[in-house]
Amino acid sequence: MISNEIWILAGTAAALGFFHTLVGPDHYLPFIAMAKARHWALRKTLAIAFFSGLGHVLGSVLLGFIGLGLGLAVNRLEATESWRGNAAAWLFIGFGFAYLIWGLHRAFKNRAHHHAHAHADGALHDHLHQHESEHVHVHDLEKKTNITPWILFTLFVFGPCEPLIPLIMYPAAKHSMAGVALVAGVFAVATIATMLAIIALSAWGLSFVRLGRLERYAHALAGGAIFLSGLAVQFLGL
């Protein structure tokens, strides 16, 4: 039977899951940015975000159970989660920066330039030309770079859920596995639902945005957004 204290913890888990996600741009900005740059369908974006969020929560739950099995104190587990958080933030920073540089390289490689074209009658015409077309090659691009969702998933699994560890320790100490499952489940639902809601609303809003000439910088902008979200997590504690 689940006690009143555990139900209170479950309510706290729901609130923490919501606010933890809302103030953490790394929970949704990478998906929004990559979806816009790579023209992912909303269903695909939400599926990637869902499984990434699930791995994000389950990773901390697994760590909690390992800690319990080894008899580690809460402060030891929180220290481990803090280390994972720093590492995950730096991985986001590194991935975002690398993607930004690749996006800039791709944009400059694809910059429009002019070619003179001579006809048989001696007439000269000047044509605007691009070596790559985002519209024509978008499907080829997806096939060549389908590792990106796996990168996001791996980064999220590695990233911790710091508020979850102390929440699940109380029911675990009471030997209530139903309580642990309830608290962790509520936290997971609140976290993932908040992620998906923000991503869906942002995707709807961005569907009205036309980048125009900035379209060729879409990948660089996505990399920059991920880079900045990593910096915000690492240095602002978001």
Report the DSSP beta bridge partners of residue 128: 114
- pTM here? 0.78
pLDDT tens for residues 21-71? 998 888 999 999 999 888 899 999 999 999 999 988 888 888 777 776 666
Report the DSSP beta bridge partners of residue 113: 129
With pLDDT > 70 as the criterion, what percentage of the chain qualifies?
79
Domain spans of the chain?
Answer: 4-110+133-236
Sign of CA dihedral 68, 70, 71, 72: negative
Nearest-angstrom CA–CA distance, 22 and 189: 14
Q: What are the structure tokens assigned to 83, written together?
A: 């280390």
Predicted pLDDT of residue 146: 66
Residue 5 pLDDT exceeds 90:
no
Interval 193-198 mean pLDDT: 96
